[in-house]
Amino acid sequence: MRILLVSSTFPPRKFGGITAVSYNLARSLIKRGHDVTVYTTDIIDRRARIPDTKGVKQLDGIKVYYFKNVSNWLASKRFYLPVGLTRMARKELSNFGIIHLHDFRSLLALIVHHYAKKHGIPYVLQAHGSVATLFQKGWLKRIFDVLWGHRILKDASKVIALTEAEREQYKSMGVSEDKIEIVPNGIDLSEFDSLPQRGEFRRKYGLNDNQRIILYLARINKIKGPDLLAKSFAELSKEVDNVKLVFVGPDGGYLPSLKKLVGELKISDKVLFTGPLYGEKKLEAYVDADVYVLPSVYETFPVSVLEACACGTPVIVTDRCGIADVIDGQVGLVVTYDKNQLQDALQRVLSDDQMRQRFGNGGKSLVREKSNWSKITELMESVYLSCLSSRI
């Protein structure tokens, strides 16, 4: 198949679940003999861009077109304005057999949807948990949906849900059940074949072997719940000695507020901010952590939880995480979005060596069985083929 993937972000950008998922899917499809092209934008982070966006680039066998954003600042706020995409879509879109949109409410989706319909090219839409309008810019999402969003959903040959909860969100937007396919997120397991030796992260940041490390590794954004974690940790640290809270990740707009909160809670000496970590350095953080916590207000299928599991690190998430049912009692604990419940769960995990070992082993088994990209790509291929067969 000649496949076009459309994603607002793509490597060499190093963070973001959509970035990782679209890249790993593209690479896996190529291994299975498909011809894959990616349309994306030039953003790397708030300040950096791809230096040369002219022409097609090659990345691990993937043909990638990086379209320059009108504003890097707007792109960092998730308002992508790609220069040249309309011209490219007008000329080239008819050459593809199937299109996979990893964007929903964006100018990329709008442009590609228009020309896909014009040329009769079927497309699959994967919203990556962004269907709900209850969180983050909800009123803007609702306006977009009235103008374009409902049409983009209606015209999709298939939509991809990560979980049963996301399936229900699509249905609430008027998508018929026969159009919805569940395909979970995955990770590249080869990255976890040779994990770093335990102790490297501690050595680099001056943490002793006896300190218990609570790790948060995600964007520092209010929707991820870092403030709830800081408040729970402040209470925990009054009862548990020698414990360190580590925040790893890029600023998602909440870092200054979080640092202010940490100061007000008088726990600055017990909290470490490392900034974003990638590659081997990120794995060192997972390996040395005693527990990984993602206390999100809303989350669909976080890749970071899979990464923690692959490193054998127990996890704690809120019941607002879409894969809470998979986690609870098997690879970690699930709590309500409540400071006291989170504090209690942290205390339970940190004080029980056998529980941590059991959850760690369970996590490794989970990702091997359910998050292997070869299996996920087979599922995605079957979705593509069903779209093509219905077109005939």
The string of pLDDT tens digits covering residues 94-104 is 999 999 999 88
**What's the pLDDT tens digit per position in 311-343?**
999 999 999 888 888 898 899 999 999 999 999
d(CA 180, CA 266): 48
Residue 391 has what pLDDT? Answer: 63
* Contact yes or no for 24/186 (Cβ under 8 A): yes
DSSP 190-210: GGGSSPPPTTHHHHHTT--TT
Q: Say if CB 46 and CB 72 are below 8 A apart.
A: yes
Residue that the structure tokens 């909160």 belong to? 261
**Which position has the token pair 């009692």?**
329
Q: How many helices and strands in the chain, by DSSP H and E?
A: 16, 15
Q: Quick check: helix, strand or coil at residue 330? A: coil
Res 392: pLDDT: 53
For residue 210, what are its two tokens?
């006896």
The pLDDT of residue 88? 95
pLDDT at position 135: 52
Closest CA to 1 of 67, 88, 100: 100
- Per 3-state DSSP, the chain is made up of helix, strand and coil in percentages (nearest 5) of 45, 20, 35
CA–CA distances in Å: residue 323 to residues 114, 199, 292: 34, 30, 15
At residue 310, the pLDDT reads 96
Count CB atoms within 10 A of the CB of residue 232.
27
> Domains (ranges, CATH) in the chain?
2-186+372-391 (3.40.50.2000), 190-370 (3.40.50.2000)
Q: What is the pTM of this model?
A: 0.85
- Give the pLDDT of residue 380: 96
What is the C-alpha separation between 21 and 17, in angstroms, rounded? 6
User: Could you tell me which residues come within 8 angstroms of residue 215 by beta carbon, excluding any fewer than 6 positions away?
Assistant: 246, 248, 285, 286, 289, 291, 292, 293, 308, 313
User: For residue 346, which of 358, 333, 337, 336 has the smallest C-alpha distance?
Assistant: 333
Given a cut of 70, the residues of the chain with pLDDT beneath it are 133-138, 390-392
